[in-house]
Chain A
């Protein structure tokens, strides 16, 4: 069964360093999402792509976070500089088309710890 791949699974970094996360969605899925999940809370959408275009980044802290999906396939989320409050699980999800009833398939996530 096709899955969403994410790497690394775990990342420990020091405050003010740069970090990057990678996501490879299920083949053929046009829509890709990045979520942040803080411990004890539900996932919160950071950015949504349709193919290579950003369709919603209203919750992305743009002073330090950036996301790209250059060829409309895999995607990278970057944080520079990392802050203590960025410690969280970063989840990537994909769905076949931009249609709300489509199931979003999640990857296993990247657990980020900022020291």
Chain B
């Protein structure tokens, strides 16, 4: 049962344009969401996060939008740069309390390619 889904395996964008990466989730207990970026031969690195009490969080060129009713979040990158080419993972966690903090459920990832 895939609780976090990234339905687009890949996305190709021209430099300077907007990149929009999408993520859907099914578990209504999820209330904290993160995006990680992964370059080849490296581990994932944290990019941006959002709590369910918000519907938008912005950090420089990166903005994450959360639509709780649709159980959908998206990552916008504006403007896109060739260095943004990487695999992007959406992740979610649930407030199960106690020692369940920190457990992340990841999506399958989307390969973003930004062309010069």
Among B43, B89, B95, point to the contact of A107 (Cβ < 8 A): B43
List A contacts of B9 (CB < 8 A). Answer: 40
List A contacts of B70 (CB < 8 A). Answer: none
Q: Check if A104 sits within 8 Å of B32, measured CB to CB.
A: no
The contact of B99 among A50, A91, A93, by CB within 8 Å, is: A50
Q: Decide: B102 and A106 in contact? CB cutoff 8 A.
A: no
* A99–B44 touching, CB < 8 Å: no
A100 touches B41 (CB 8 A): no
How many angstroms between the C-alpha atoms of A50 and B101 in the bound complex?
A: 11
**Contacting chain A: which of B58-66, B71-79, B106-114?**
B106-114
Q: Which of A36-87 contact B (CB under 8 A)?
A: 40-45, 48, 50, 55-56
Among candidates B32, B36, B42, B108, residue contacting A100 with C-beta atoms closer than 8 Å: B32
Q: B43, B89, B102: which contacts A95 (Cβ < 8 A)?
A: B102
Which residues on the B side are within 8 Å of A103 (C-beta)? 46, 49
Contact call B108/A41, Cβ cutoff below 8 A = yes
What are the 4 tightest A-B residue pairs by CB atom distance, in nearest-first order? A42-B106, A106-B43, A55-B99, A103-B46
CB within 8 Å of A: which residues of B?
4, 6, 9, 32, 36, 41-46, 49, 51, 89, 91, 93, 95, 99-109
